[in-house]
Structure formats: structure tokens, C-alpha cells
């Protein structure tokens, strides 16, 4: 039996040494020292020994068990340390590894133009005004001297929600809203989306953007309008830009004009962007019609004003060389990334 015990000891020592992790070690503990472990089984078999042998064998088993327990404890410490080191190594963060790129978006070309125009007019002392896109017909038309039989009010041209409520077809209603609530001097611009019942093609979209301008004060004249637009055109489109006025008609201005700018791509010689004309139509403008001032509670005998309005898409397309307006609304990142 002594030999059996010594064999158990030898084998167990070897196996403990070889154990590679805590699970293996624990299994060995069960195998040798557990309730049904090899050493325990030997103890149980002591009944068959001569009485004088029993204490000796008992002592030997106890001694071996104590030794093994110490070995198990040492090995456990060693393995725990090894596992900790492994974990630290595996979880090590390599700070030199390149990080995942987070892509930052950029402003839409339309937003870029709006911001640029805002900066120019803020620099000239203007304020930025805002108005609803779902607008009352009275602001979009009546107060702008556009009577019920005017063609712009046709069901073919404007999106109606009810007879009296519509999607604004221009930013001009903001003029009326501002004049009703603010006393002159008034100097505002109003950028925003407008809607018209147009079918989509390379130069038309049922939604597009305009920027409206309005100045009302004592002694405002057509000369102020021309000077203002000239400064604006030069700042926005380049110092060499020339501007010309053509007589036109708008219900809410009298006199009215359309303003063209010399082509800022070819400088006026004629190219694809200006379609060989040398000039690009830029905006509508004029002196605020006395009726409009009256409708909005401002005395036209005391005050005069000028107003203008232009499409943002047209400027963006000319400035960035975009040939198809649809690109501006498709929101394809491959397109938008270029600006
Ligand atoms: N609202 C006009 C349009 O949509 C543009 C315009 C023309 C605005 C003349 C004005 C203006 O303020 O004075 O075509």
C-alpha cells in the first residue's frame, strides 16, 4: 500500500507540474484529493490492513495530502499570475494603430450660397428675417398687390392647401409680414424655400430657394437699389462683375426691373454658362409699390423702399458649374462631397 501511495504522489506531482490552467488544476485536485479521489480511496481500503500498519499508513497519507495541498496552492498562484499576464497582454491597446475615420459632412451648396449672401448683407447692416413656408394667400398675393385674377394665382402654378392657404411661391410674403410688424427703417433679407407647380427638369424644380431683400426708410431711391445690388454682385461673384438693369414688371414694385450680371465665367465674352450672351439674369427688383406700403400700414407719402428677390439655385449652379438642378436635390453624397 505504501508503494501505491508513493505512486499516487509521484504521478500527481508530475501532473500538477504539467497543468496549464486553473481548470486543469482543479480537475487534478478532484482526481487526487476529492471525495472519490485516489488518495481517499486508499484511506478507505485501510480496513484490510493489519491494525499496527494502519497508523503508519494513515500518517503517510496525511503527509502526502499536506504536501500535495501545498503544491496545488503554489501551482494555483503561479497559474493565476500567468493568466493575469496573458490577459493584460491580450487586452493591450495599441495606441499607434490608425483610428477609424469618422467622416464629417459639409454644408450643402445651397446652404453655402445662402450663408455667403447672408454674410454680405449682414456686413451692410441688414437683419435676417424668416417667414412660414405654408403661407396665407393674402400674404403671398393680395398684400403684394397681386389681385385674385392675376395669372400667378392660377391653380396650375401654385400649390394650394385650401383656397386661402398655400405653399408660398416666393419669399416676397415675408416683406409684407415684416412691414406689418416693424416700423421703418427696415433692412432685411429673407432666405428660404419656395414652391411652384413646375415639373422637374434640368432647370426647374417644384421646390427651390430664394433670397428676398427689402429696405424701407425715408428718401430711399432707385439709386440706393442699384448701388446695393452692385456691391452685392461684386462681393458675391467677383470684383470685376458688371450689372445692368432691364425694365420689367412685378405687381409689388413700381418701377420694376430685372438685373443681369456680366458672366463671371467668361467675363462677358460669351460662353457655355451664359449661353453665349455674356450676361446672366440674376434677379427681380424695384421700388416697393405704394399700394404694398399702404396694405402693410406704412405711409407711402412718408416712406419709400426697394426690394429684390433672386433664386439661390441659379447662383449655386453658375458659381459651382452645376449643369443640372436635379443634382442639388438628389442628395447623392458623391456629388455633394465635391463642394
Ligand atoms: N418674387 C419675385 C419672383 O419670385 C422676385 C422678386 C422680384 C422679388 C422683384 C422682389 C422684387 O422683391 O422686388 O419672381
Query: DSSP per residue over 260-312, as a string?
Result: EEE-TTTTTS--TTTTTSSEEEEEEEEEEPHHHHHHTT--TTT-EEEEEEEEH
CA of 310 to the centre of ligand 1 (A): 7
Per-residue model confidence (pLDDT) at position 47: 80
The answer, yes or no, to whether any atom of ligand 1 lies below 6 A from the CB of 311, is: no
Residue of minimum CA distance from atom 12 in ligand 1: 308
What does the angle CA 103 – CA 109 – CA 115 come to, to the nearest 5 degrees?
A: 105
Determine phi and psi for 209, rounding to 5 degrees: -125, 145
Cα Rg of the chain (Å, integer)? 44
**Tens of pLDDT, residues 285-315:** 999 999 999 999 999 999 999 999 999 999 9
The answer, yes or no, to whether any atom of ligand 1 lies below 6 A from the CB of 184, is: no
Residue of minimum CA distance from atom 8 in ligand 1: 309
- Provide the pLDDT confidence category of residue 111 given band limits of 50, 70 and 90: very high
Residue 320 neighbours by CB under 8 Å, 6+ apart: 109, 339
The answer, yes or no, to whether any atom of ligand 1 lies below 6 A from the CB of 250, is: yes
Instruction: Note whether 257 and 246 are within 8 A (CB).
Output: yes
Q: Which atom of ligand 1 is nearest to the CA of 253?
A: 13
- Provide the pLDDT confidence category of residue 97 given band limits of 50, 70 and 90: confident
The answer to whether residue 273 scores a pLDDT higher than 90 is no
Q: What percent of the chain shows pLDDT beyond 70?
A: 100
Q: Which atom of ligand 1 is nearest to the CA of 288?
A: 13
Amino acid at each position: 500500500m505504501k508503494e501505491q501511495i508513493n505512486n499516487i504522489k509521484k504521478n500527481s506531482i508530475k501532473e500538477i507540474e504539467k497543468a496549464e490552467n486553473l481548470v486543469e488544476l482543479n480537475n487534478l485536485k478532484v482526481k487526487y484529493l476529492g471525495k472519490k479521489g485516489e488518495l481517499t480511496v486508499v484511506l478507505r481500503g485501510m480496513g484490510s490492513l493489519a491494525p499496527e500498519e494502519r497508523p503508519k499508513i494513515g500518517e503517510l497519507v496525511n503527509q502526502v495530502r499536506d504536501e500535495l495541498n501545498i503544491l496545488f496552492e503554489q501551482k494555483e498562484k503561479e497559474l493565476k499570475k500567468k493568466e493575469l499576464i496573458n490577459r493584460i497582454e491580450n487586452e493591450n491597446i495599441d495606441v499607434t494603430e490608425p483610428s477609424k475615420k469618422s467622416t464629417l459632412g459639409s454644408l450643402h451648396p445651397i446652404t453655402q450660397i445662402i450663408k455667403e449672401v447672408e454674410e454680405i448683407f449682414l456686413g451692410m447692416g441688414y437683419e435676417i428675417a424668416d417667414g412660414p413656408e405654408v403661407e396665407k394667400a393674402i400674404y403671398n398675393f393680395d398684400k403684394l398687390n397681386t389681385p385674385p385674377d392675376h395669372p400667378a394665382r392660377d391653380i396650375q402654378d401654385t400649390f394650394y392647401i385650401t383656397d386661402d392657404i398655400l405653399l408660398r411661391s416666393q419669399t416676397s410674403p415675408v416683406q409684407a409680414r415684416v412691414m406689418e410688424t416693424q416700423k421703418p427703417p427696415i433692412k432685411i433679407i429673407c432666405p428660404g424655400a419656395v414652391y411652384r407647380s413646375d415639373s422637374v427638369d434640368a432647370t426647374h424644380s417644384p421646390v427651390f430657394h430664394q433670397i428676398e431683400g427689402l429696405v424701407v426708410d425715408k428718401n430711399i431711391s432707385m439709386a440706393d437699389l442699384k448701388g446695393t445690388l452692385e456691391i452685392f454682385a461684386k462681393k458675391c461673384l467677383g470684383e470685376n462683375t458688371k450689372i445692368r438693369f432691364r425694365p420689367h414688371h412685378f405687381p409689388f414694385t413700381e418701377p420694376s426691373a430685372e438685373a443681369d450680371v456680366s458672366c463671371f465665367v467668361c467675363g462677358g465674352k460669351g460662353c457655355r454658362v451664359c449661353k453665349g450672351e455674356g450676361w446672366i439674369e440674376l434677379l427681380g427688383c424695384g421700388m416697393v409699390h405704394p399700394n404694398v406700403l399702404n396694405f402693410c400700414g406704412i405711409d407711402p407719402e412718408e416712406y419709400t423702399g426697394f426690394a429684390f428677390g433672386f433664386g439661390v439655385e441659379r447662383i449655386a449652379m453658375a458659381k459651382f458649374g452645376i449643369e443640372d438642378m436635379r443634382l442639388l436635390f438628389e442628395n447623392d453624397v458623391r456629388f455633394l462631397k465635391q463642394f
